[in-house]
Chains A and B, each alone.
Chain A
C-alpha cells in the first residue's frame, strides 16, 4: 500500500499578486512503504521539489488536491496538522542551524517532548536516535554549539529521528560535507531506513549520491513530476535528464561514451562497481 499519496496537488506562491509563481502544477505521486527502499527526489533549483517536501508534513497547504499519508487526508482536520509533523519528519537543509538547547540531549528531546512524551520513554528515544545518527553518547551532555560541523548535523538529524516518524524526509542531508562525511551520513540513513522500517525520502543535487543510496527516483521539472522509476531506469534516460537541467552520474556518461566506442555495456549503468562488473563480462 502506498504510504504517501499526492492527488492532483497545485500550489502557487504569492497567489493573486504580480509575482505569483506556480511551484506545483497538478502533481500526483504515490510512494510505497519502507520495503521498497529509499526514494530520491531530484530536480533543478526552482523545479518545485522543496515545495513538494513541505507539502508532505503540512508546512504548506495545497491550493488544490489532497495529501494522503497512511490512508488519511492530512488536511481533513486542519487543527490536528501538528500531529502530521510527527508522522512525517522533515530534516531541512543545513539543519544544524536549528539547534538551540543547552545540551545536545535536550535538543534531541525537543520533538518527542512536543509529542507529549516524558520520562523513560523520552530517554530511550533520545538514546536510540543518537545511536542511529552516529552520535557518541558522551556528546549528549555537551552544548550543541561545542560540536564539530558534522556532529551538529547528526544531532539535528537525531532530533527528528527521535520523533520516530513513519516517514523521514531529508533535504540535502550531506550538503557541505566532505566525501567521508557524506558517506557516513548517507550510509547511516540507509541503515536506519532498513532497521526501523521508516519510509525515507532524500532530496539531493548530487546524482552520484542518489545513485549510491536510493532505490527509486522522482524527477521534478517545471512544477511537475517528470519520472518516477528505479535509478537504472531514470539514469538511462540520460538525454531527457540533461534537457531539464539535471545531470547523471559521471559513470553513466562514461557508459554512454563506451557505447560510442564500440564497448556497449547497457544504458542502465549508475555505479562504478556495476560498470566494472559489466565491463569484465566483455573480456
Chain B
C-alpha cells in the first residue's frame, strides 16, 4: 500500500493565481512581504487585510483550509501575542494584577503582530505553497537566479538537486516504511526502552535506508547519463516560463499597494506599531 503523500501543500486548481508565472509569483511574494513589514499603522494593516482577503478569493481555495494550514504555527502566534500583552508598557493602563500590568498599547501591538504573522503565512500560501507545484517553484527559482550562473553559482545543479529530491522523497518514505516493517517482523522494538536504546533501535533502519539511497543515486546517475544528461549547458526546457500581461498587472497592483501603505503610514496611521 502506497503512503498517501501530498508533498508540500499544493492544491490542484486553475485560478488566475495558479496560472501566474512562478517566477513572478516568487517576486510578488517577496514584494508583498516587504509591504507587510513596511506597514506600521492600523490603517495600512486594514488595507493589507483587505488585499489578503481579495487574494485568497482569487485563488478559489477555501479560506478555512488556509487557516488550517496555520495550525503548526499556532504556538508561535500565541507566544508572540502573550509576550506583547504582558511585557509591553504604555500610557493607558487597563488591568493590574500584582506585578502584572496590561496596557492598551500592549494589546493593540499584540493584535497587529499577530495580524502581521498571519498575513505572512497567507501571502506565502497564496503565492507559493498552495498554488505552485514544488517543481514549478524550483524551475522559477532556477530561471530567476540564472544571471548568477555567470558568477559561477551552480544554479542549475542546485535546481536539479531539488527536482530529484522532490521526486525521491515519497519513494524513500515508502522504503522507510518497508524496512521498518521488515525489522519489526524480526522483533525489532522502536517504542520502548530508554532514549539511548531507542536511538540504537534505529540503526537497523538507517543503515539499509542509506545503502538503498546510495544504490538509487548510483542507478539514477547511470540512467541520467544514458539519457544524455551532461549538465545544464545546452539544455532546453519543454515548459518555458512566460510572463504575460496578467503577471505584469499583478506586479503593478502589488507596487501600488506598497506605495499606499507608505502613504498611509506617513499621513494617516491612526495608531502606530512600536516594534
Which residues from B are CB-within-8-Å of A90?
Answer: 185
Question: Which residue of B has the minimal Cβ distance to A93?
Answer: B178
Which residues from A are CB-within-8-Å of B203?
Answer: 100
Restricting to B182-219, which residues have a CB under 8 Å from any CB of A?
Answer: 182-189, 203-204, 207-208, 211-212
Contact B1 A111 (CB under 8 A): no
B181 at the interface (CB under 8 A from A): yes
Determine the main DSSP class of B at the interface with A. Answer: helix
Question: Which residue of A has the minimal Cβ distance to B179?
Answer: A98
Q: Compute how far the CA of A99 lies from the CA of B208 in the bound complex, rounded to whole angstroms.
A: 6
Question: Which residue of B has the minimal Cβ distance to A91?
Answer: B185
Which residues from B are CB-within-8-Å of A274?
Answer: none
Which residues from B are CB-within-8-Å of A110?
Answer: 183, 186-188, 204
A39 at the interface (CB under 8 A from B): no
A197 at the interface (CB under 8 A from B): no
Contact B179 A59 (CB under 8 A): no
Contact A14 B4 (CB under 8 A): yes
Restricting to B157-178, which residues have a CB under 8 Å from any CB of A?
Answer: 178
Contact A13 B184 (CB under 8 A): no
A95 at the interface (CB under 8 A from B): yes
User: Across the A-B interface, how many residue pairs have beta carbons closer than 8 Å?
Assistant: 64
Which residues from B are CB-within-8-Å of A95?
Answer: 182
Q: Mark A1-16, 1 if CB is under 8 A from B, else 0.
A: 0000000000001100
Q: Compute how far the CA of A57 lies from the CA of B211 in the bound complex, rounded to whole angstroms.
A: 27
Please give the number of chain A residues whose Cβ is less than 8 angstroms from any Cβ of chain B in the complex: 32
Contact B187 A100 (CB under 8 A): no
Which residues from A are CB-within-8-Å of B179?
Answer: 97-98
Contact of A163 among B183, B187, B189, B208 (CB under 8 A): B187
Contact B1 A13 (CB under 8 A): yes
Q: Compute how far the CA of A3 lies from the CA of B109 in the bound complex, rounded to whole angstroms.
A: 70
Q: Compute how far the CA of A86 lies from the CA of B179 in the bound complex, rounded to whole angstroms.
A: 17
Interface size class of B (residues with CB under 8 A): 10 to 19
Q: Mark A65-104, 1 if CB is under 8 A from B, else 0.
A: 0000000000000000010011001111001011111000
Question: Which residue of A has the minimal Cβ distance to B188?
Answer: A114
A214 at the interface (CB under 8 A from B): no
Question: Which residue of B has the minimal Cβ distance to A23?
Answer: B1
Contact of B212 among A19, A54, A91, A97 (CB under 8 A): A97
Contact B1 A51 (CB under 8 A): yes
Contact B181 A100 (CB under 8 A): no
Which residues from A are CB-within-8-Å of B181?
Answer: 54, 59, 92
Contact B187 A114 (CB under 8 A): yes
A160 at the interface (CB under 8 A from B): yes
Q: Compute how far the CA of A17 lies from the CA of B203 in the bound complex, rounded to whole angstroms.
A: 33
Which residues from A are CB-within-8-Å of B1?
Answer: 13, 21, 23, 50-51
Tell me how far the C-beta of A243 lies from the nearest C-beta in chain B, rounded to whole angstroms. 25
Which residues from A are CB-within-8-Å of B188?
Answer: 110, 114
Which residues from B are CB-within-8-Å of A100?
Answer: 203-204, 207-208
A192 at the interface (CB under 8 A from B): no
A159 at the interface (CB under 8 A from B): yes
Q: Compute how far the CA of A100 lies from the CA of B185 in the bound complex, rounded to whole angstroms.
A: 15
A238 at the interface (CB under 8 A from B): no
Which residues from B are CB-within-8-Å of A145?
Answer: 211
Q: Compute how far the CA of A237 lies from the CA of B246 in the bound complex, rounded to whole angstroms.
A: 64
Closest 6 CB pairs of A and B: A114-B187, A100-B207, A98-B182, A111-B186, A90-B185, A92-B182
| 18 residue pairs bridging A and B, Cβ less than 8 Å apart | A19-B4, A59-B184, A86-B187, A97-B178, A97-B179, A97-B182, A98-B179, A98-B182, A98-B186, A99-B208, A100-B207, A100-B208, A110-B183, A110-B188, A114-B187, A114-B189, A145-B211, A160-B186
Can you name 15 extra interface pairs (CB under 8 A) apart from A51-B1, A92-B182, A163-B186?
A: A17-B4, A54-B181, A59-B184, A86-B187, A89-B185, A95-B182, A97-B179, A98-B182, A98-B183, A98-B208, A100-B204, A100-B208, A110-B183, A114-B188, A145-B211
